[in-house]
Structure 1
Amino acid sequence: MTTLTEAQPIDDGPKRPAHRHPVARVAMILGGIFVVLVFLRVLTGENAITSSGTVGTTLALGVPIGMAALGGLWAERAGVVNLGLEGMMIFGTWGGAYGAYFSGNAWMGLLMGVAMGAAGGLLHALVTVTFGVDHIVSGVALNILAPGVARYLSTMFFLGEPGAGATQSPPLPDFPTVSLPGVGGPLGDLEDKHWFLLSDLAGLARGLTTNLSALTIIALALIPLTYYVLWRTSFGLRIRSCGENPYAAESLGVRVYTMKYTAVVISGALAGLGGVFLAMVGSSQYQENQTNGRGYIGLAAMIFGNWRPGGLAAGTGLFGYTDALQQRGATGAVHALLLMVSVVLFGYAMWRLVPARRGVTAQVDLEAAGPRRRRQIYQAAAAIVVGAMLLAWYLATDSLPKEIVTYTPHLTTLLVLSMASQRLRMPAANGLRYRRGEGH
């Protein structure tokens, strides 16, 4: 029987030009964003925009979102919509607290949290893959079930423990922290000088190399590892084939049910790891409602990233950065972001107004191109109007209301999804019910 190998590629959406390496492209985009932030810092005088503290906080706040997004990527590349990421993260927060507290070892907490997240993924896979329940319904049910289970287990195991109760665990042991030796002091001195670009680069390097939790390093390593496994191995090819055309994969000898189960269990494990991070690194104990919607934001980051590891990492960084500014009380920096967003919207409008891009030829049928062109003009006009309103808001005020600052990450989620929606391409069989043999 013919088997699916790496020599048989899966249609994975529009291909990038051959001359543009993805890593170089991502590096150029990130470098451009950083330079814009540097100019914004100089223009507004808000040093928190590129400080090492903001960078470190961005990592701490972005890791749980990133792990939820990575979990969603694994499930949806196999064709299973995972709206239950929030519930799996809740299982991870409680499991991490239970394992760490009763063993006295942070690493046991990690294992327990990942295992409970994987159990949530297994439940989701059983309901959707085997029983054929609608994926959205199953995910919502899991998100409703998880808080109740966590409250029940907390009452059973934490009630009566010192400093604990039905809604929180006792204080938990910490993961070790890692710093690059000999760089913190010199980089801190250079950062404090606030020189153009040099001090900003020092703040970035210092935030990325000092006082990092070991769990942060593990989480960051999982992003390129996921890319390698899913896009550079035959196992990953089989996973992705199940999300594109499971019946074609079945005809080539792929065990579709096994691949779907494996991907969704891994998805739950990754979400559980994000929950462990919240309970043991982002905080020092498990607390009820600790996830605070991060599973949903992770899902948005995955969609913004077009179901790819590099894109979801960029989306995660964006959400984590806006959250970091408001968490650190840098209200002036959040206000300065109004200027940056208005500039981005003006740039987006100019991009949509360009009549033709490389690779688009005059052979496109005019009747088909007419409505598309009008839609582009409408999008550009909307971006110009919103950008002008934000610019006027920035020029007319010195600060933002506290309510808006608090919900900056959620507003950012809505904004980036609305801007990126035109280029999204999810796996073709994502969310569809699969039954062996029905495709023949």
Structure 2
Amino acid sequence: MTTIAEFAQKLAEGRTTSEALVTEALNRIEAHRTAGGTAYISVDAGSALNAARASDLARASGYVPSALAGLPVSIKDLFDVAGQVTAAGSRLLADARPARDDAVVVERLRASGAILLGRTNMSEFAFSGLGWNPHYGTPLTPCADGRIAGGSSSGAAVSVALGMAVAGLGTDTGGSIRIPAAFCNLTGFKPSASRVSMSGTFPLAASLDSVGALSNSVDDCILLDQILSGQSLDTPAAPLAGLRLAVTRDVVLDQLDATVAAAFERSLDLLAKAGAHIRWFDFPELHELPRINAAGGLTAAEAWQGHRQWLEGDRSEAYDPRVAQRIRRGAAISAADYLDIQDERQRLISVARERLGDADAWLLPSVAVVPPKLADLADDAAFFATNGLVLRNTSVLNFLDGCALSLPCQRGDELPVGLSIAGLHGQDARVLQVSRSIEALLRQST
């Protein structure tokens, strides 16, 4: 694992070039695709190499706009890139007109000097936590044979995990950055939703969508967040001694598999021994979420508004039936029902503020289970049950309008497990401060 800072140092010292790094990434992509890998939907090799050469010339003249300059980055297939089709992992939009302009976040990546390699695979229209895609294939985690990478930013995660990019641009509506980060042994940060522009991004549910990135370290995530948001947060590592870390058993610790439970308990023990205060708290209101979202919730309602033109027309057969089925649930949600859900959301956000109090962060397993086997998802009933369990913990933070970072916390001989460090809206800086310290402790101990 090489971080962005380490790559930037090699470039600064003349030990490598952008062209060499991009060529290596492209070679890895080709090997991955030859072996049947499905992380990328399309690759723009010629443009990437031209941009890399231009970056090397700019560096030679003294122009280096950021630590990301000259480094290869992957783009999830729901971001506009000028001249490319934004299909959002679908066949429905594969023949749409190419985008005229870059999405705001893509424009910011270009301005930082990043080299855009290509478009990564994803759950169709970002509507699954499993990365399932019957059109382009379902990406698998490199960490175990036959197990899924998670979604919806599945290809983004695999692109980073296999060294085919130093970072993957993704989105998170119910866990689509943090789930694949957990399943692929990566770090993924979901910022407070309003901090990063969604302009030029194909939405799933505007009330819940947020833009972030997957990478190899907390420092990488901080740099990427600064570029994507245009904001520089104060993020020095928080001393572990005296940190107030909140943990609840309600909902988020239910149905944990043995590997996840052991890794989470081990992480709490390490933190306590380092001087952090683990404060258990009750949050019984989380048990109300299945009732609140029983008809499909904000995601189904808002997705239906965006997709009904196609699902009610003659293009509905182009959809993955598992995606269409869930979007169609939104048709039965009335305006009054939708406003009731929004009211319930605000009520639970207020409860969360009261329950968390002065905690520096809320800790929970990113996902209740290790990466499921792809073969176990062929049956619809198993697929939907697994999808619900995989999304359960991460979607809590989206519903509460929070921010969260997922860190690897498993031992070397275990399947990948993510530890989430979470906060409420606007607490991004504190979450990143705490994450820096927890990452250092976990890396010393594994």
TM interval, short-chain normalised: under 0.3
Give 1 or 2: higher helix fraction.
1
**Which one scores higher on RCO, CA 8 angstroms, separation ≥ 6?**
1
More strand, by proportion: 2
What TM-score do you get using the length of structure 2 for normalisation? Answer: 0.26
